[in-house]
Amino acid sequence: MKILLFTLPTCKYCIPAKELLKDKKEIEIINLDNNENLAVKYGIRSVPALVVEECSGFTTYIGLEKIENFVKEKMASKSCCGCK
């Protein structure tokens, strides 16, 4: 499983999103300004955006509230599809 957090330096919601995920080693924080090719790959048009890529595809969570819900529900349960 691969988890990416897309942010921008000027985004006021990106700071709390990064703070929420700071202790999660498996999350890669991506500055959208420097990684437009990844944004295109995942269809990112708004930040903060969390992309969870599994062997079956990927899911995108846009906005601080949806990212908070993902952390509470999915990351707490440590559920995984089993891919590496």
Better-predicted residue by pLDDT, 82 or 3: 3
Sheet bearing 27-31, strands edge to edge: 27-31, 2-7, 49-54, 57-62
pLDDT above 60 for 77: yes
pLDDT of residue 51: 97
Q: How far is CA 5 from each of CA 1, 21, 61, rounded to the nearest angstrom?
A: 13, 9, 9
Confidence of residue 81 (pLDDT cuts 50, 70, 90): low
What is the distance between the alpha carbons of residues 60 and 18, in angstroms, rounded to a whole number? 16
Mean per-residue pLDDT for 29-39?
Answer: 94
For 63, list phi and psi in degrees, rounded to 5. Answer: 100, 150
Mean per-residue pLDDT for 20-25?
Answer: 88
